[in-house]
Amino acid sequence: MKILDMLYEGKAKRIYATEDPNLLVMNYKDEATAFDGAKKGIIASKGIVNNRVSCLLFNLLEKHGVATHLVKQLDERNVLVRRMEMIPLEVVVRNVVAGSLAKRLGREEGQVLPVPVVELYYKSDELHDPMVNESHAQAFGWATKEQLTVMQQKALQVNQVLQPFFDSIGIILVDFKLEFGLADGEILLGDEISPDSCRLWDKETMDKLDKDRFRRDLGQEAEAYQEVVRRIEAALG
């Protein structure tokens, strides 16, 4: 598969065209950002880890009936994916109080939620990805009512698969962010699932094994990412 022009470069990935108009190559970078790009740095081999983790988890989800954009992993940093029209919303699923949820509602981090909380955010760096609701999404044409229902159902299905999986490898799936797109009228899970897009806590020590180590200047980011991929590969690889 010949890689052609770069179509887009984001904070964590680059997207390239291919000879097939329906397929793209997604390249994972080591750059790390936080607070809408105000904080920047490098996490050694982050792109390699995130690519591997995301491919393993997407394959697991496919086996449980969650359709994704993944076609195949090409190498350590590149993956072949289906071209999609991205829906400009992030779907966040929360199992434990942490991060912005704790700040907004004045709750202590670590409170286990009796049911998963699903939130929607409008993807806009300029507006700092504001939290929105279904009415906003429909009124501004970001997604239809039917699409929102499917996205939220798929997000909860992902949670039903990944929460017990992570528990089995000694990790608490605190929360995670998903993105979806349309390919031939079908809603597919896109982007990535990795320590960049999830909060992952060690069950025994409660150590953070995700990008919060970078956000909060905890150090040992690369070691935490490597520990996540090590446990996932031991279970799925």
Q: What is the pLDDT of residues 75-94, one digit of tens each?
A: 999 999 999 999 999 999 99
Domains in the chain, please, with CATH? 3-82 (3.30.200.20), 85-226 (3.30.470.20)
Instruction: Render 149-180 in DSSP notation, one character per residue.
Output: HHHHHHHHHHHHHHHHHHHHTTEEEEEEEEEE
Instruction: Find out whether 219 and 40 touch, Cβ atoms under 8 Å.
Output: no
How do 23-28 and 78-82 pair as beta strands?
antiparallel
Residues forming a β-bridge with 85 = 182
What tokens were used for 231?
């446990």
Q: Tell me the per-residue pLDDT of 191-235, one tens digit each, with 9 for 90 and over.
A: 999 999 999 999 999 999 999 999 999 999 999 999 999 999 999
Burial category of 234 from C-beta neighbours within 10 Å (exposed 0-12, middle 13-18, buried 19 and up) = exposed
Give residue 149's pLDDT band: very low, low, confident or very high (50, 70, 90): very high
Coil, strand or helix at 113:
strand
| pTM (2 d.p.) | 0.95
